[in-house]
Amino acid sequence: MKNLGAALLLTLSLPASGAEVYKCTAPDGKISFSSNPYCGQVQAYAKNRNEPLVEISPAKLAKISTQEKIELHYARVDLADVVEIIGDVAGIAMEPIALEGKIISLNQPPRPWLDTFNDLAVTYNLDYRQAYGKLYVYQLGGMGETIVHSPDLLRWYQSADTWDIVLKNDGILLAMRAYQETDLKERLPNLLRRVREELGEQAHTNAAETVALKRSNAGVSGSIASSGNLDQQSRALAEENAKKRRIIEKRLSNSQQRQQNSQSRCFSSGSGC
């Protein structure tokens, strides 16, 4: 009976169905819910919405020897595809950002994959940082660098749904005369503001975490359902699998052209071509 009374009290104290509900965590760990988007103290949620970038050597992430050789022969190939191929060989989750559409040619005899990657980095002014379990590869001074070094943009990049919202709002800005022919870096402050507003996120350090009310046959339940770690992991896994399928399909579509090339690439000097 005591538990039933507590549940009833919680139900009555919650905002009506359909209203925004926010969760605050006090320094002592006590959790409270209200319709106020701000908490009385700094929230770890607001401070740690992004995962810190790590500067790391690809050699430390590789699952195979850095002396494993790779051979690449392409008359025309997308730089992003080459980065992903090297990542596949090394066993590194490499994620090229804003490198698509940059067509290059390669005629490389067997040599260590790390030497190949480093040469590409020097030739095409590439840099890389690790976050969210991936090594992000981008071009210095380009759009990819802005995305990787903007905590909110990189966080939104993890989900196709949130990234679509970013692209939509960036398109709106580009349609404005003031932003025509501007770099992403110039549009960034207004872009972040627009996307945060659409997603219902707060920029302040005491911003509360948005949660959703569970529905039951009796109406709104007293329990709170936030997007938990399990749901986030499931979504991330589904998105990663979908991306892998797209990469495989893209490579398969070019397989016939590669087969016609008498100098098709080999991943190791020890295997025949």
Question: What is the token pair recorded at 173?
Answer: 């800005």
- According to DSSP, the β-strands at 94-96 and 134-139 are parallel
pLDDT-based confidence at residue 8 (cuts at 50, 70, 90): very low
How far is it, in rounded angstroms, from Cα 90 to Cα 92?
A: 5
Residue 171 within any structural domain of the chain? no
pLDDT-based confidence at residue 249 (cuts at 50, 70, 90): low
| Cα–Cα distances in angstroms (integers) from residue 131 to residues 93, 151, 207, 231, in the given order | 11, 10, 23, 20
Q: In what order do the strands lie in the sheet with 134-139?
A: 94-96, 134-139, 126-131
Q: Are 53 and 131 in contact (CB under 8 A)?
A: yes
How far is it, in rounded angstroms, from Cα 78 to Cα 91?
A: 20
User: Can you give the residue range of the structural domain that contains 100?
Assistant: 58-145
pLDDT-based confidence at residue 7 (cuts at 50, 70, 90): very low
* DSSP conformation letters of 211-222: EEEEEETTEEEE
Residue 201 within any structural domain of the chain? no
Residue 211 within any structural domain of the chain? no
What does the pLDDT look like over 133-144, one tens digit per residue?
A: 999 999 999 999
Name which of 205, 192, 161 is nearest 42 in CA terms.
205
Instruction: Return the pLDDT at 213.
Output: 61
pLDDT-based confidence at residue 225 (cuts at 50, 70, 90): very low
Instruction: Return the pLDDT at 234.
Output: 61
Instruction: Return the pLDDT at 242.
Output: 64
What does the pLDDT look like over 185-199, one tens digit per residue?
A: 999 999 999 999 999
Residue 242 within any structural domain of the chain? no
Residue 153 within any structural domain of the chain? no
Beta-bridged to residue 138, according to DSSP, are 127
Residue 24 within any structural domain of the chain? no
Question: What is the token pair recorded at 79?
Answer: 């730089």
Instruction: Return the pLDDT at 188.
Output: 94
Question: What is the token pair recorded at 22?
Answer: 């926010």
Instruction: Return the pLDDT at 4.
Output: 39
Instruction: Return the pLDDT at 255.
Output: 41
More confident residue, 51 or 60: 60
How far is it, in rounded angstroms, from Cα 6 to Cα 16?
A: 18
What does the pLDDT look like over 56-98, one tens digit per residue?
A: 999 999 999 999 999 999 999 999 999 999 999 999 999 999 9
| Cα–Cα distances in angstroms (integers) from residue 215 to residues 16, 218, 230, 273, in the given order | 11, 8, 20, 60
- According to DSSP, the β-strands at 126-131 and 219-225 are unpaired
State which H helix or E strand residue 83 sits in: helix 79-90
If one counts the domains in the chain, the total is 1
Beta-bridged to residue 78, according to DSSP, are 103
Residue 5 within any structural domain of the chain? no
For residue 50, the Cα-to-chain-centroid distance in whole angstroms is 10
CB-based burial of residue 145 (10 Å sphere; 0-12 exposed, 13-18 middle, 19+ buried)?
buried
Question: Taking 80 as the threshold, does the pLDDT of residue 112 lie above it?
Answer: yes
How far is it, in rounded angstroms, from Cα 107 to Cα 116?
A: 11
CATH code of residue 63:
3.55.50.30
Q: Are 114 and 64 in contact (CB under 8 A)?
A: no
How many other C-beta atoms lie within 10 A of the C-beta of residue 21? 22
What does the pLDDT look like over 144-160, one tens digit per residue?
A: 999 999 999 999 999 99
Lowest mean pLDDT among 34-38, 157-161, 245-249, 267-271: 267-271
Q: Are 195 and 147 in contact (CB under 8 A)?
A: no
Instruction: Return the pLDDT at 205.
Output: 81
Q: What is the pTM for the complete model shown?
A: 0.64
pLDDT mean over 41-56: 82
Q: Are 81 and 51 in contact (CB under 8 A)?
A: no
Instruction: Return the pLDDT at 254.
Output: 44
Residue 162 within any structural domain of the chain? no
What does the pLDDT look like over 12-33, one tens digit per residue?
A: 444 444 557 888 999 898 999 9
pLDDT mean over 39-53: 81
